Amino acid sequence: MANNPLNLDEVGEWSGIWWLPDDPNQPIPGVLRYSPDDGLVLSLIGAFEDRIMSTPSPGLTVFHEGSRNWDVIHGAAEQREISLLGCYPNGVKRTIGARVKSPDKQTVVAMTALVGAHVSGEDDAVFSAAEIAVEDLGLWAASSVFDGSLGAPDGKIDGTGSISVKPVETRSVLVDGTEFRLQHQHTLPFFDQRKGGTVGRMRDTAFVRVVPAAPFSLGSAREAASLVQDLISLATHQAAGLIWLRLEVAEKEPALLPDGRPAPRRRVNVLYSPTALGRGNAKAVDHHRVFFTCESLPFEEVVPRWYEARGRLQAATRMILGLRYAPARYVENNLLTAVGAAEVLHRGLRIDEKPFPRAEFKAMRDAMLEQVPEKHRERFKGAIRNDPTLRDRLYALAARPDQDAIALLMPDVDRWAERTTKARNDLTHEGKTPNHRIEELFAVVEVTMAVVILNLLHELGLPAERQSEIVREHPQLRATASTAREWLVSPDAVS
């Protein structure tokens, strides 16, 4: 259907004319193609001038190295306005001096396409709402327009049944002046007549609609999409790809049809390469692998908490979610990322406890500095800090979530904190971890990641009993707990 969003995992093609915003009277015909593998490629019959030239004196033109890029290219194709952002030439075939004169050909690569509007750039605040569809959002929403039943009189299935549709009430919450709505849209019944049978279909799609108080830009819309992606990634413990992103143009006055009725809202589809590409028709994640849904943490509660926590703990959340979006191939990289996430999370939580009272620490430091030659004093002073150690921070993080969950995750917190600190210090100071086997490093990474995740879930208000349930029943955390019992228990511990 023409009004359906453009899925980022599907190909598209638009034939039309294209021009530079500062030279609209020189349009060039061409075809824009999009694919998830190749991105956005504009093939022109003709060419924009991409050579960098100067005219130092009349009649003298100098061509310089490099080529020109374009922030924006506008187009009109398939009865839609199109804006291409972040464009650069990827090849040109000119016919200067050819035996037969024919049009030049040029290929242009674009980073982003807005299908449905002309904008002056990514920061152009011309949109009133964004609609975001992310993998497994429907499962996380814990709601559907569909309801099904099977006929089973006397306890025996008799072959009758029904699928009914009932619209789901929109859930909404206002966060810092921006409204977040959890909505559903569904198709009408469709019967697909095949030679071997008939298939009846309907589709229910859950999406988040974001409505700021004032018009916003494409950059802000992409940040909103990232916020939703990260929330679902945390909830499902895997990368949540973006399926589609659609915007609405802010109208100064409501548009009317010729008969006086309100015109449909003007929607704009965004095509680009997100952090993770969503596959709309892929099988949903198994519900046993989901940490929480809107059933255990209501939408109206979790979105404000995530908005606040993600802003305050952004560095830690990006590091730990980065291991979901793009895990490194080597355990050493993952070790530094996981332990780094734990450190910055501890700082972001603002739960630091100074090892010494400020006055006492100052007196000790001053006394030590008196014994240091003056030329080394400043350097020595910078090395003496009244900050908690990595081990202190790990202990503090392990003490925050539900303690039953922590006990299920690892039986020996002391051993985990000791071996994690040793591994990180060896790697950063010596460039290797000679005192750890690869299996133990893997255990350190997985347990540290789990501790960070439990802290984030704790920040979102996930009930204690659910935290324990996750460690007990989630396949990956259950495996992590098994690994911890094998590799992160002191040799002196009593069996």
3-state secondary structure the chain: CCCCCCCCCCCEEEEEEEEECCEEEEEEEEEEEEECCCEEEEEEECCCCCEEEEEEECCEEEEEEEECCEEEEEEEECCEEEEEEEEEEEEEECCCCCCCCCCCEEEEEEEEEEECCCCCCCCCCCEEEEEEEECCHHHHHCCCCEEEEECCHHHCCCCCEEEEECCCCCEEEEECCEEEEEEEEECCCEEEEECCEEEEECCEEEEEEEECCCCECHHHHHHHHHHHHHHHHHHHCCCCCEEEEEEEECCCCCCECCCCCECCCCEEEEECCCCCECCCCCCCCCHHHCCCCCCCCCHHHHHHHHHHHHHHCHHHHHHHHHHHHCCCCCHHHHHHHHHHHHHHHHHHCCCCCCCCCHHHHHHHHHHHHCCCCHHHHHHHHHHCCCCCCHHHHHHHHHCCCCHHHHHHHCCCHHHHHHHHHHHHHHHHHHCCCCCCCHHHHHHHHHHHHHHHHHHHHHHCCCCHHHHHHHHHHCHHHHHHHHHHHHHCCCCCCCC
- Rounded average pLDDT over 205-232: 95
Return the pLDDT at 315.
87
Cα dist. 159→105, 148, 149, 190, 284 in Å? Answer: 62, 13, 11, 21, 27
Q: Read off the pLDDT band of 99 (50, 70, 90).
A: low
**How many CB atoms within 10 Å of residue 428?**
11
Query: Residue 479: left if φ>0, alpha if ψ -120 to 50, beta else—which one?
Result: alpha
The pLDDT tens digits of the residues spanning 354-382 come to: 776 777 767 777 778 777 788 777 777 77
Token pair, residue 333, equals 């990289």
Return the pLDDT at 361.
67
Residue 64 has pLDDT above 60, yes or no: no
Better pLDDT: 389 or 440:
440
Residue 1 has pLDDT above 50, yes or no: no
Return the pLDDT at 495.
47
Better pLDDT: 56 or 405:
405
The pLDDT tens digits of the residues spanning 131-177 come to: 999 999 999 999 988 888 888 887 788 788 888 888 889 999 999 99
Better pLDDT: 65 or 286:
286
Return the pLDDT at 399.
95
Residue showing tokens 């609209």:
24
- Rounded average pLDDT over 174-197: 91
Partners of 93 in the beta sheet? 105
465 vs 392: CA distance, rounded Å = 26
298 vs 173: CA distance, rounded Å = 11
Token pair, residue 61, equals 């033109």
Q: What is the pTM of this model?
A: 0.86
Highest-confidence segment of 48-57, 71-80, 327-336, 360-369? 71-80
Residue 475 has pLDDT above 80, yes or no: yes
Residue showing tokens 């991105």:
39
Write down the mean pLDDT value for the chain.
88
335 vs 425: CA distance, rounded Å = 11
Return the pLDDT at 97.
58
Better pLDDT: 377 or 321:
321
Q: Give φ, ψ of 302 to 5 degrees.
A: -75, -35
Q: Name 321's Cβ contacts closer than 8 Å, sequence gap at least 6.
A: 230, 233, 234
